[in-house]
């Protein structure tokens, strides 16, 4: 009997929302041929990853198996699905497949990293398929908040898998293909071994709303505006950008796109035929010279990102354009948890200028791109899989999704990052725990999340830093007193003397009393100087700083 | 004609939610007698104030006028209203007035700081009043989410002011006095010069809900639970804590309070007669030995605070108690914007253990303590003031509140922190802009928010730190090569050599080529070493670190 198996191994995206990377394999244990679905990034924050530019999944396991990797398939062009493609191209070297719009974005990324654009192959939608080793993969169009999102139909010698990617059920999405119930039913007809299913909105109990429901509301709002109108949304939500632009056009406004991502996404949509019409746009220079009531800006920065167009406008002027009292700013977007502070800062800055800010207002000007619980269940029911493996969710989302399955009598499998699942076992089991994690793009280099680099930064941010300098001569006698420099600590402590003076005095006392043996022992001396500095600072200012000790020995 | 005036000067709380501190004055310009309403704190975050323990309002202006300060009145015992009382007692020295429950909490704080408890005087509610210089101040009971909240009726020789404090309109608040429409109508009957009015929930369009509406839902939830139940809410929301405890008691559960604030608030409530009954509680040691289905924990940490009981339980064990699969954890609270990440982390940790987490679920298990827009308008209509001065809100809340007033034909006055308003001018005007801001409690010392201490910490967190050490002899000849230490930077850069080696080599080259003049010039040498280090690091790892230069000159 053959012992080939089908495996599923999330390296990112299962147990978190972000940096999706799902490995599928087929073959004898340890010798499976592999494909990778999506290779995305996630974004750093000051709490956990200060100074980091981008967070990538740790793909060490895949690098070791790169000779088995047949191909990478990208479901859609959101950063959490495509963002790491170019960063890891050199390591993995596998061909990348995507539909035209996604490929357009992926190729731009390849180009920016100096990789060949032809590394990305454009694929036609299901029922066309791509062969990759033992796999045959088809891109089944599915509605989401970006054009040409696809569920992947992954056929293996032991059965069919369906990987939904991100999706919602929208039969009138504005741009791109409507959700096709019949197609998914057909895909499931002959049996599906496992459905890997989006879990993002599993806690939303009501049926999801169509993208088309926001158009009339946006149109009404823009039509009623007196001054300049600016609106922000995710640039990749091309349907929304079109809705906004059309609302502006109907209200007699010229459309001005601001922010690099905004222009790029519309460009890509037009190049790939996703958008066949879009209102004529004007440059910021031209917009500046039009009457305010004839201008509509569509800008990046819906999440309050500091360098994006919305933040710049809130700060004052951006590309020569300034919002003033009586203008309107619309967040046609939802704030992702964790980004609240940045968004609120912008709202208050606009309020100070006198700009009226309108937010999504409980769904009036925004709808989610993910399936709510009832829609997730529709997907289960259309495909009728032998098991559901929830993905694209934090642990609580995956667990809830499993509970829903179990309540319906479908087998739900909870698999988080690093769990290598044997899907063809009688009961799907974790066959191996693979080490996964995060890799930081930090400036121009990559560092492991657990390397301690970022930990040291966090410690300096919390505790401040002291440099201690001691010079010893060839006889281990101190030349002069120890010398300190502080950064990120109060200058004066409880004794009302400068903190530096107190530290230097305490260190001098130690050095003067220390025996030759201690002074000669590099590690011991280092430890003692650090200990005294921390203790002395604690007494003075109530903080134990990070300490760099430099002992120079003249020989 | 007398030129005495009534002034209003927010030092905190107007233009932000937090650290409330409102000055009122009466007298000739610059010689007014003053009172202060509330003296609260706000909480630091990693984005803007890493390592800071607490944020206090900058009260420099008030310190200069301390001889004019007659008294401090505290509306209620929330930290953003009472939290800075003890920190600033030594500077201000004014008597503090509060109702019994608030005074109980304030006295505990005084005691912890070694100040006399008698600095806080207990006041009976309106119609009793306290004389303070030219002012007469009464505490009018008003419903909120903590016992004994009060609006302040502030009578001046030129008319009555009403300062609402935090409030909602709740005629059935569970604990404490219901909202008394007739009383506020009566207070306003003879004319009110200005209504200073809570603005927190001005964007909520629907009428607010009573605290009593959550009881049946909580009771149902707890009654249906199988394992141990734990619930968190703000400890100061005594009505909610009682509701939770009673729901537990009715379900046959022993109540265990966990977290210092939780025990302290219940203690204070019983001591002051605010709570006349509360279910018997058991200690964690006893709770541990009871069957799980007979225990209900009520715990601190509804905002995901790292050291609070909820976070500790999510981490594993707390005071001997461990939640396990099948237990229930209820957030009977709303997450304050900015705290999402912490709360979500706890939810996922519980999910990993198998604990079912229930959150406020759109208001089922939580109601806000602040008046929504229709309720704010009820307050306007009851009091019928000559003007409304919105407070307790970010700029956007204050502005919206002013817009509502203006639309109704009431004069709305937008005054943010630092605007000294003359309320008795024909048109209320800003007579002076006073410097305000934030003071950080950092370890055991206070530092100004703009001192640069925290800025340096943020820079180290974003860019890492390098120490550069050079030793020069009496002839300004370098003894050995420069020496570096790095913290918070990648060890290896693009050239694949250790970053330290690259930095030291570049610095050595510079030192060897530098002329005597540069080496002799302390500032110049320092600047150059810093510049080269930053540039070299930028080339190697794409980051410009913070640099501490230590040049030791042997003489």
Q: What are phi and psi of B119, to 5 degrees?
A: -60, -20
The number of beta carbons lying within 10 Å of the beta carbon of residue B291 is 11
Q: Which of B460, B463, B472, B484 to mutate to test the interface with A (most CBs of A within 10 A)?
A: B460
A167-199 burial, b at 16+ Cβ within 10 Å, e below that, comes to bbbbeebbbbbbbbeebbeebbeeebbbbbbbb
Each residue's pLDDT tens digit, A230-257? 999 999 999 999 999 999 999 999 999 9
Strands B96-98 and B120-122, sheet pairing: parallel
Interface membership of B447 toward A (CB under 8 Å): yes
- The DSSP H or E segment spanning B345 is helix B340-353
Cβ <8 Å between B461 and A461: yes
Closest CA–CA distance from residue A117 to any residue of chain B (Å): 24
pLDDT of residue A477: 87
Tell me the H-state helices in B434-474.
453-463
Map out the domains of chain A as residue ranges: 5-206+368-448, 211-363, 464-553
Q: What are phi and psi of A320, to 5 degrees?
A: 85, -5
The beta-carbon neighbor of A47 closest among B46, B395, B538 is: B46
Q: Note which residues in 391-420 of chain B have CB less than 8 A from chain A.
A: 394-396, 399
* Residue closest to B401 by CA, chosen among B418, B415, B417: B415
Residue A555 has pLDDT above 80, yes or no: no
Each residue's pLDDT tens digit, A12-51? 999 999 999 999 999 999 999 999 999 999 999 999 999 9
DSSP A498: B
Q: Rounded CA gap, B461 and B456, in Å?
A: 9
Work out the average pLDDT over A324-331: 97
pLDDT of residue B476: 87
Using an 8 Å Cβ cutoff, are A286 and A191 in contact?
A: no
Closest CA–CA distance from residue B140 to any residue of chain A (Å): 32
Residue A187 has pLDDT above 70, yes or no: yes
Using an 8 Å Cβ cutoff, are A215 and A247 in contact?
A: yes
B-chain residues within 8 Å CB-CB of A338? 340-341
A-chain residues within 8 Å CB-CB of B45? 341
pLDDT of residue B474: 87
**Chains A–B, number of C-beta pairs less than 8 Å apart:** 200
- The DSSP H or E segment spanning A162 is strand A159-163
Strands B150-156 and B159-163, sheet pairing: antiparallel
Task: Decide: helix, strand or coil at residue B105.
Answer: helix
Radius of gyration for the alpha carbons in chain A, expressed in angstroms and rounded: 28
pLDDT of residue B140: 98
Q: How confident is the model at residue A539 (pLDDT cuts 50, 70, 90)?
A: very high
**What are the residues whose beta carbons fall under 8 Å from the beta carbon of A153, sequence distance 6 or more?**
A126, A129, A137, A138, A139, A140, A160, A161, A162, A187
Work out the average pLDDT over A272-292: 96
Strands B465-472 and B483-487, sheet pairing: antiparallel
The number of beta carbons lying within 10 Å of the beta carbon of residue A288 is 14
Closest CA–CA distance from residue B459 to any residue of chain A (Å): 8
Q: Note which residues in 73-102 of chain A have CB less than 8 A from chain B.
A: none
Q: In the beta sheet, which residues pair with residue B469?
A: B483, B550
What average pLDDT does chain A have?
A: 96
Which residues does chain B have with pLDDT short of 70?
Answer: 1
Using an 8 Å Cβ cutoff, are A28 and A56 in contact?
A: no
pLDDT of residue A231: 98
- Please give the CATH number for the structural domain made up of A464-553: 3.10.20
A-chain residues within 8 Å CB-CB of B463? 51
The beta-carbon neighbor of A394 closest among B348, B451, B546 is: B348
Q: Rounded CA gap, A401 and A202, in Å?
A: 6
pLDDT of residue B408: 95
**What are the residues whose beta carbons fall under 8 Å from the beta carbon of B345, sequence distance 6 or more?**
B304, B314
Each residue's pLDDT tens digit, A109-143? 999 999 999 999 999 999 999 999 999 999 999 99
Residue A1 has pLDDT above 70, yes or no: no
Closest CA–CA distance from residue B392 to any residue of chain A (Å): 14
Work out the average pLDDT over A305-323: 96
CATH superfamily placement of domain A211-363 = Metallo-hydrolase/oxidoreductase (3.40.50.10710)
Tell me the H-state helices in A426-498.
453-463
What angle, 0 to 180 degrees and rounded to 10, lies between the N-to-C axes of helices B453-463 and A453-463?
180
The beta-carbon neighbor of A445 closest among B469, B490, B546 is: B490
**What are the residues whose beta carbons fall under 8 Å from the beta carbon of A67, sequence distance 6 or more?**
none
Using an 8 Å Cβ cutoff, are A410 and A383 in contact?
A: no
B-chain residues within 8 Å CB-CB of A480? 552
* Residue closest to B377 by CA, chosen among B191, B164, B146: B164
Using an 8 Å Cβ cutoff, are A454 and A461 in contact?
A: no
Task: Decide: helix, strand or coil at residue B513.
Answer: helix
Using an 8 Å Cβ cutoff, are B141 and B150 in contact?
A: yes
Tell me the H-state helices in A84-237.
89-92, 100-112, 181-188, 214-223
Closest A-chain CA to B395: A348
Cβ <8 Å between A442 and B542: yes
A-chain residues within 8 Å CB-CB of B460? 457, 460-461, 465, 487-488
Phi-psi region of A29 (alpha: psi -120 to 50; beta: other; left: phi over 0): beta
Work out the average pLDDT over A393-419: 97
| Max Cα–Cα distance, chain A, nearest Å | 87
Closest CA–CA distance from residue A185 to any residue of chain B (Å): 32
Interface membership of B385 toward A (CB under 8 Å): no
Q: Note which residues in 43-62 of chain A have CB less than 8 A from chain B.
A: 45-47, 50-51
Model pTM score:
0.95
Cβ <8 Å between B341 and A47: yes
Q: DSSP string spanning B56-100?
A: EE--HHHHHTGGGEEEEE-----HHHHTTTTTTHHHH---EEE-H
- The DSSP H or E segment spanning A26 is strand A21-27
Closest A-chain CA to B203: A361
Closest CA–CA distance from residue A335 to any residue of chain B (Å): 10
Cβ <8 Å between A460 and B462: no
Using an 8 Å Cβ cutoff, are A549 and A531 in contact?
A: no
Percentage of chain A beyond pLDDT 70 is: 100
The beta-carbon neighbor of B443 closest among A347, A491, A543 is: A543
Q: Is the dihedral of CA B93, B97, B100, B106 positive or negative?
A: negative
Question: How big is chain A, counted in residues?
Answer: 555
Each residue's pLDDT tens digit, B334-390? 999 889 999 999 999 999 999 999 998 888 999 999 999 999 999 999 999 999 999
B-chain residues within 8 Å CB-CB of A50? 46, 458, 461-462
A40-59 burial, b at 16+ Cβ within 10 Å, e below that, comes to bbbbbebebbbbbebbbbbb
Closest CA–CA distance from residue A4 to any residue of chain B (Å): 31
Q: In the beta sheet, which residues pair with residue B343?
A: none
Using an 8 Å Cβ cutoff, are A247 and A218 in contact?
A: yes
**What are the residues whose beta carbons fall under 8 Å from the beta carbon of B324, sequence distance 6 or more?**
B227, B228, B292, B353, B354, B355
Question: How big is chain B, counted in residues?
Answer: 555
**What are the residues whose beta carbons fall under 8 Å from the beta carbon of B260, sequence distance 6 or more?**
B300
Closest B-chain CA to A464: B457
Residue A10 has pLDDT above 70, yes or no: yes
Cβ <8 Å between B542 and A357: no
The beta-carbon neighbor of A348 closest among B395, B447, B493 is: B395
pLDDT of residue A210: 97
Q: How confident is the model at residue A57 (pLDDT cuts 50, 70, 90)?
A: very high
Write out the E strands in B157-191.
Answer: 159-163
pLDDT of residue A2: 72
pLDDT of residue B361: 81
Q: Note which residues in 453-512 of chain A have CB less than 8 A from chain B.
A: 453-454, 456-458, 460-465, 467, 469, 471, 479-480, 483, 485, 487-494
Between the alpha carbon of residue B47 and those of residues A46, A207, A338, the distances in Å are: 5, 36, 11
Q: Rounded CA gap, B1 and B99, in Å?
A: 38
User: What's the fold here for domain B5-206+368-448?
Assistant: Metallo-beta-lactamase; Chain A (3.60.15)
Give the alpha-carbon dihedral of A219, A221, A227, A231, to 10 degrees.
-80
Using an 8 Å Cβ cutoff, are B537 and B507 in contact?
A: no
Closest CA–CA distance from residue A92 to any residue of chain B (Å): 19
DSSP B177: P
Closest CA–CA distance from residue A394 to any residue of chain B (Å): 7
């Amino acid at each position: 009997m053959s012992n080939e198996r089908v495996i599923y191994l999330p390296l990112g995206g299962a147990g978190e929302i972000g940096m999706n990377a799902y490995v599928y394999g087929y073959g004898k244990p340890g010798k499976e041929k592999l494909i990778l679905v999506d290779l995305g990034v996630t974004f750093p924050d000051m709490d956990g990853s200060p100074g980091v530019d981008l967070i990538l999944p740790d793909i060490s396991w895949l690098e070791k198996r790169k000779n088995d990797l047949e191909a990478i398939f990208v479901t859609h062009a959101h950063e959490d699905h495509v963002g790491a493609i170019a960063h890891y191209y050199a390591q993995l070297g596998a061909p990348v497949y995507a539909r035209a719009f996604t490929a357009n974005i992926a190729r731009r990324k390849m180009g920016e990293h100096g990789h060949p654009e032809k590394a990305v192959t454009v694929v036609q939608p299901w029922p066309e398929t791509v062969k990759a080793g033992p796999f045959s993969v088809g891109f089944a169009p599915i509605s989401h908040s970006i054009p040409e999102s696809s569920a992947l139909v992954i056929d293996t010698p032991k059965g069919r898998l369906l990987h939904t990617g991100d999706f919602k059920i929208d039969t009138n999405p504005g741009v791109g293909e409507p959700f096709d119930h019949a197609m998914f039913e057909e895909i499931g007809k002959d049996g599906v071994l496992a459905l890997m299913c989006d879990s993002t909105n599993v806690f939303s109990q009501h049926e999801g709303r169509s993208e088309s429901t926001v158009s009339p509301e946006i149109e009404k709002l823009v039509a009623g505006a007196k001054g300049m109108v600016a609106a922000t949304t995710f640039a990749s939500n091309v349907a929304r950008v079109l809705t906004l632009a059309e609302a502006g056009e109907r209200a007699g406004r010229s459309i001005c796109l601001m922010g690099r991502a905004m222009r790029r996404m519309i460009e890509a949509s037009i190049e790939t035929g996703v958008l066949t019409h879009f209102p004529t746009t004007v440059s910021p220079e031209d917009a500046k010279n039009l009457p305010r009531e004839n201008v509509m800006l569509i800008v990046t920065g819906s999440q309050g990102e500091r360098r994006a167009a919305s933040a710049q406008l809130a700060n004052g002027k951006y590309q020569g354009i300034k919002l003033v009292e009586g203008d309107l700013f619309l967040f046609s977007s939802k704030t992702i948890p964790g980004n609240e502070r940045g968004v609120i800062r912008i709202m208050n800055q606009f309020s100070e200028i006198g700009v009226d800010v309108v937010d999504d207002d409980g769904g009036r000007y925004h709808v989610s791109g993910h399936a709510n619980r009832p829609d997730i269940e529709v997907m289960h029911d259309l495909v009728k899989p032998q098991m559901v493996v929830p993905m694209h969710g934090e642990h609580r989302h995956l667990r809830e999704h499993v509970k829903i399955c179990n309540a319906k009598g479908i087998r739900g499998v909870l698999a988080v990052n690093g769990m290598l699942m044997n899907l063809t076992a009688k009961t799907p089991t974790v066959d191996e725990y693979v080490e996964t994690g995060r890799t930081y793009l930090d400036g121009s280099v990559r560092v492991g999340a657990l390397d301690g680099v970022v930990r040291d930064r966090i410690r300096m941010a919390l505790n401040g830093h002291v440099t201690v300098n001691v010079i010893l001569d060839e006889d281990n006698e101190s030349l002069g007193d120890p010398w300190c420099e502080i950064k990120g600590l109060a200058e004066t402590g409880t004794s009302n003397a400068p903190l530096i003076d107190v530290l230097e005095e305490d260190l001098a006392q130690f050095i003067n009393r220390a025996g030759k043996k201690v002074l000669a022992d590099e590690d011991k001396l280092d430890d003692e100087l650090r200990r005294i500095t921390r203790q002395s600072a604690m007494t003075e200012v109530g903080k134990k700083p990070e300490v760099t000790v430099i002992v120079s020995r003249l020989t």
